[in-house]
Structure 1
Amino acid sequence: MIVRKIGILGGTFDPPHIGHLLIAQEVLEQCKLDEIWFMPANIPPHKKTDDVSSVNDRIKMVTKAIEGAERFVVSTVELERKGPSYTVDTLKDLKIKLPDVDFYFIIGADMIEQLHTWERIDELFEYVTFVGLQRPGYSQLSRYEGKMKLLTIPQVDISSSCIRERLKEGRSIRYLVPEAVRLFIEERELYGTSASVRNR
């Protein structure tokens, strides 16, 4: 049996930006994975529903962001689930459906020391290998330290919330997101985008 190795990069992707793409590429190469799945979240347990753009808009933005990258895939698994989405339930279902796949779940430095607070975290370790992204200023200490791969990748200080804030302020996001994503945001007038930021 040939075992495939697939990395999962979860999040709201509201919007996706070049930092997400950099993370995906680095993990793909360093862990020698076959694919990276970008997995937009449905209703993150820690967010209010009205804080998140529509499902269709987020899927379209991620699709545009990874266009041309053959080993990057959009997964709608979590979006097809009903109600609040927990990683453990998603990965349990995936392992049942795809027993010949080893899954690698990518988490940021801020999440490494908070893993013990995740829903049914000990069960989750049965379904997935965690890939933790090290970052200056964050502790990599975790009770699960020996159970995850820790990677160092180039740092790009960009966040989706920062991009949304820039747009509300009428500032350009050129080069912070893939050009196709920027044009889609302007076309749909997402995040309070106005004509004043067009073509910047």
Structure 2
Amino acid sequence: MAKIGLFFGSFNPIHVGHLIIANYMANYTALDEVWFVVSPQNPLKKKESLGNMYDRLEMVNLAIEDTENLKTSSIEFSLPQPSYTIDTLTHLAEKYPTKEFVLIMGEDILETFNKWKNYEIILRDYHIYVYPRPGFNGGTMREHASITMTETPMMELSSTFLRKAIKEGRSIKFYTPDKVIDFIEKKGLYA
């Protein structure tokens, strides 16, 4: 059974930090593939701060094209919003019965994971691979049997940093693939 890591995020925009995490998970853990699950709306984030979901999906596609074990998923685009991870997992399990799904999250997210809808069911039925985040340690959840702490290279880069840089007219070269930069410039995103 193929093991698929689900990397949920706004990817607003995607950057090398996301790509390094996904590549590490796909190549240095027991996962066969990593799917970038582009969230239309995170229940904990303000909706108006998000770029268009199709633009964000396209930027992820551009960033990972020609990478065999990294894929994109727009599964949440067709689910009721705001989308909760438990509902997405249930939907994916029904749609792909031959795949085993694993969640990928940062230590910062793990620290507040107990605020998620049905987090106990997620812990019971799924495994979670956690990547390090500066200033966080995963809290009390890190000892749970369903949690695997990984040695993913630590990244301090954020999409917020990129959006601010673009708004200020600064270069974002090397922070995200050139194809993504071209797309952002062509569409006038975040300016």
- TM-score, normalised by the number of residues in structure 1: 0.90
CA gap of 1:158–1:136, structure 2 versus 1, over 3 A, is: closer
Q: Distance in 2 between matches of 1:134 and 1:19?
A: 12
CA gap of 1:136–1:170, structure 2 versus 1, over 3 A, is: closer
- Do structure 1's residue 120 and structure 2's residue 118 form an aligned pair? yes
Tell me, yes or no, if the aligned pair for 1:115 and 1:142 is still in contact at 8 Å: no
Q: Distance in 2 between matches of 1:4 and 1:110?
A: 28
Unaligned runs of 5+ in 2: none
Pick from 18, 25, 28: which aligns with 1:27? Answer: 25
Q: Distance in 2 between matches of 1:70 and 1:133?
A: 22
Q: Distance in 2 between matches of 1:124 and 1:75?
A: 20
Partner of 1:103 in structure 2?
101
CA positional deviation for 1:40: 0.4
Partner of 1:94 in structure 2?
92
Pick from 138, 141, 150: which aligns with 1:140? Answer: 138
| Aligned residue pair count | 190
20-29 or 119-128, which moves further after superposition?
119-128
Q: Distance in 2 between matches of 1:41 and 1:127?
A: 22
Partner of 2:151 in structure 1?
152
Give deviations 1:16-67, integer Å, cap 9, x for gaps: 0011110001111222321110110011101222111112211111110101
Partner of 2:175 in structure 1?
176
CA positional deviation for 1:144: 5.7
Structure 1 moving runs of 4+ over 3 Å: none
- Structure index of larger Rg: 1
CA gap of 1:24–1:10, structure 2 versus 1, over 3 A, is: same
Partner of 1:161 in structure 2?
160
Partner of 1:58 in structure 2?
56
Name the Cα RMSD after superposition.
Answer: 1.4
CA positional deviation for 1:135: 3.6
Unaligned runs of 5+ in 1: 193-200
Q: Distance in 2 between matches of 1:125 and 1:78?
A: 21
Partner of 1:185 in structure 2?
184
User: Identity of paired residues, percent?
Assistant: 35
